């Protein structure tokens, strides 16, 4: 008889009483309902799996909500685990789309594992080059065109053929992929607050390379760029949206970028503290964003995750203060 492996011990769920909504993370405290000045309509807090946020505008009259907020999936722990792994580096390759999907799939699987009370550290980093090969297989030898169809087809490859991890042990497939309009800021904010990292595309101006920590990137306007360049000469870049921040009424998204030392944050003596995360103006996404589902029953995912919480509490907390984010 073959020797049996001892069963893997179940993931230790931290024995901490989950904190109340609005107090789960320092970033979660600010959510408040807001009342429009014109009709006095109360717009409730929008409750999500990871963060509660105020509505962006009044439901009755579209008046802009004056409340600011700030949340970032890379700034929290879930059941004491970080959910974004290592910052990737695409190097000289031009596979920003595959790198973005690799990071999204890794984060999605980690969150799925946490919801199923499995150990999220079993999910290692995934291989973007493998996804690109799968994408080429799916195209069946037809050359890629670039553009929006390439993004959507690569998402399809992630669902149909999957992506292998760097240990070459497992292929992970997306349960489903769907799009959200790049202009539907409420839907994008809600998806992010529900813990879905999103694939987005921006135009790549020179300022992106030298983006400084804590500043918000303002991509070139496509039609302005058209005045000086041909459309095929306007470079696009794929990123992963991981959070949203509204400050003085201006909405930006936090994003992960697979560039080495992108947007580095250093201490006064020059020690590197963090890199890889930038901010981008929410009005300047170039293409619709792509969401990767955690579970097959995507339309009912909200009710599903609510039921799940009865068994496995998702405890959202803040990253330890001194911990560098790039490890």
Q: Can you give the binding site for Zn ion, defined by CB under 5 A?
A: 36, 39, 41, 58, 60-61, 63
For Cα atoms 187, 189, 194, give the angle at the middle one, nearest 5 degrees.
Answer: 95
Which residues, in sequence order, are bridge partners of residue 69?
Answer: 246
Residue of 111, 80, 82, 122 whose CA lies nearest to 276: 82
Q: For residue 98, which phi and psi values (nearest 5 degrees)?
A: -65, -40
Distance CA 260, CA 90 (A): 8
Q: Which residue's C-beta sits nearest to Zn ion?
A: 36
Query: Which is closer to Zn ion, CB of 53 or CB of 242?
Result: 53
Closest distance to Zn ion from the beta carbon of 186 (Å) = 15
Query: Which is closer to Zn ion, CB of 62 or CB of 261?
Result: 62
Structure tokens at 97: 């789309």
Closest distance to Zn ion from the beta carbon of 37 (Å) = 8
- Cβ–Cβ under 8 Å, residues 259 and 89: yes
Please state whether beta strands 272-274 and 265-266 pair in parallel, antiparallel, or not at all (unpaired): antiparallel
Helix (H) / strand (E) containing 274: strand 272-274
Structure tokens at 309: 């919480």
Structure tokens at 206: 């020179």
Closest distance to Zn ion from the beta carbon of 193 (Å) = 22
Query: Which is closer to Zn ion, CB of 41 or CB of 295?
Result: 41
- Cβ–Cβ under 8 Å, residues 246 and 70: yes
Query: Which is closer to Zn ion, CB of 39 or CB of 222?
Result: 39
Closest distance to Zn ion from the beta carbon of 34 (Å) = 10
Closest distance to Zn ion from the beta carbon of 24 (Å) = 29
Closest distance to Zn ion from the beta carbon of 282 (Å) = 22
């Amino acid at each position: 008889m073959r020797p049996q492996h001892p069963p893997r011990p179940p993931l230790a769920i931290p024995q901490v009483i989950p904190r109340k909504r609005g107090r789960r993370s320092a970033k979660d405290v600010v959510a408040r309902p807001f009342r429009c000045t014109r009709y006095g309509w109360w717009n409730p807090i929008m409750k999500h799996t990871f963060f509660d946020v105020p509505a962006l505008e009044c439901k009755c009259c579209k008046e802009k909500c004056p409340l600011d907020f700030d949340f970032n999936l890379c700034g929290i722990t879930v059941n004491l685990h970080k959910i974004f792994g290592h910052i990737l580096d695409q190097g000289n390759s031009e596979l920003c789309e595959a790198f973005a999907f690799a990071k999204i799939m890794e984060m999605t699987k980690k969150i799925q594992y946490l919801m199923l009370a499995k150990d999220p550290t079993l999910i290692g980093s995934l291989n973007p080059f493998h996804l690109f090969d799968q994408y080429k297989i799916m195209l069946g030898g037809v050359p890629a065109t670039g553009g929006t169809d390439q993004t959507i087809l690569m998402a399809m490859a992630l669902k149909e053929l999957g992506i292998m991890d760097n240990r070459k042990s497992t292929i992970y497939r997306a349960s489903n992929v769907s799009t959200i309009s790049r202009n539907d800021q409420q839907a994008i904010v809600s998806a992010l607050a529900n813990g879905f990292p999103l694939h987005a595309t921006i135009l790549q101006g020179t300022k992106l390379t030298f983006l400084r920590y804590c500043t918000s990137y303002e991509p070139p306007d496509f039609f302005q760029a058209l005045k000086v360049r041909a459309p095929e000469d306007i470079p696009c870049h794929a990123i992963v949206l991981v959070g949203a921040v509204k400050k003085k009424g201006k909405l930006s998204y936090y994003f992960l970028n697979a560039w080495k030392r992108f947007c580095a944050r250093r201490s006064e003596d020059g020690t590197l503290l963090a890199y890889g995360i930038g901010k981008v103006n929410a009005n300047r996404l170039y293409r619709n964003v792509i969401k990767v589902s955690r579970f097959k029953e995507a339309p009912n995912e909200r009710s599903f995750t609510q039921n799940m919480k009865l068994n496995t509490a998702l405890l959202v907390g803040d990253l330890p203060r001194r911990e560098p984010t790039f490890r």
